Chains A and B, each alone.
Chain A
């Protein structure tokens, strides 16, 4: 809905073409006409210009939310401001978009609206990968031993990562499942996710400790970046790194402790106190290295051993240490 008929016609034509005819688009230059369409049609999404005569877009969206709560709502404005954004979102808009001035900008709006159409209302929270790392969310869920489904969206991929009682049990993205799907999803450059209520996956495709799975995914992501592989593309991880087979690696040690040194969990550690002390030293050492050369936040220390490897992490007030050996390697 926009009182600028020319703009409306051109956007309608473009979106119709971009959707390949799958979107049925109704145009309205007045709120009266828009209400008629809403009464008659099965509308899934309304896109409303803020600056409308008689009843402005903000009020109109509020009205739609009350009358048609299942319809998704996006607001457009030529002059975005924080006040308009706040008012729009407070009135019930799902998206607040500045009117683009180029056809490329309109294509981006089309992509955003496409994503909005795929959103499903549910309990939980939403995030944006650029702000909160997907790995961070997974770690928080695993450390808290939660059960949940992480649903991930970007323009091309819809994926799901299943966490049950703090363990990664299934991942699916595109045509991929298991570790390949997990790696692909964790390599996405951006997008959004929702933490949804847990339900049993169709099958279990992941096994082994979550720390190891995330570590391997980080390695593959690094390789993809180094080899110039666009993230999110269909790639065979075997061309980037050694085949990843959790069953071919044996977990030797796992330790999770508070940063203070208090033990949370340990398995098969020969000397857990010594490892905890060492982890604390790693964090201190990382701080000192960061003081010498500002390389950003410390993420992890990877250690390549003869016949295995280990990783030390410090996340959310926890120290994590995992060591695996290659059962098929040169251990």
Chain B
């Protein structure tokens, strides 16, 4: 995953409507890339990633695993997804420019990453 994650980020951060995206390792180390450092620096994305990681698990996960979450705000959305191996992704997008289907595809591509070996 350490080699796949940067590639995944660089492939998706240039999508239309993307503010920035990032991933965190199970140990908490983050790798983030902003689409526009003036709007949302990578450091801010790291803080968001840490905040999402610290969020309480929804009380439905005992027998119903969470695939992904979307925090919907007036001007933006934050999609997060956590892999079974503990890697977590976030994508911060413009609310008007990026729809649910795009976010679903984004999260699905992250969850489907298959580390070699």
Contacts and interface: CB of A to CB of B under 8 A. Distances in A.
Interface of A: 218-219, 222-227, 241, 253, 271, 274-275, 278, 281-282, 285-286, 288-290, 292-308, 310, 312, 323, 325
B99 A323 contact: no
B70 A302 contact: yes
A292 B20 CA distance: 14
A282 B69 CA distance: 12
Nearest to B47: A292
A306 B64 contact: yes
Contact of A289 (B64, B67, B78, B99): B78
Given A271-B59, A306-B67, 16 more contacts: A222-B95, A222-B100, A223-B99, A223-B101, A226-B99, A274-B59, A275-B59, A285-B51, A285-B56, A289-B51, A301-B71, A302-B70, A303-B68, A305-B67, A306-B65, A325-B64
Contact of A295 (B52, B65, B67, B75): B75
A294 B19 CA distance: 12
14 contacts: A218-B72, A222-B95, A226-B99, A274-B59, A288-B51, A289-B52, A289-B73, A293-B40, A295-B74, A299-B72, A303-B60, A306-B64, A308-B64, A310-B58
Interface residues of B, number: 38
Tell me the dominant secondary structure on chain B's binding face. mixed
A307 B66 CA distance: 10
Contacts of B96: 225
A241 B65 contact: no
Interface of B: 17, 19, 40, 44, 47-48, 51-52, 55-56, 58-60, 64-78, 92, 95-102, 104
A225 B99 CA distance: 7
Nearest to B67: A304
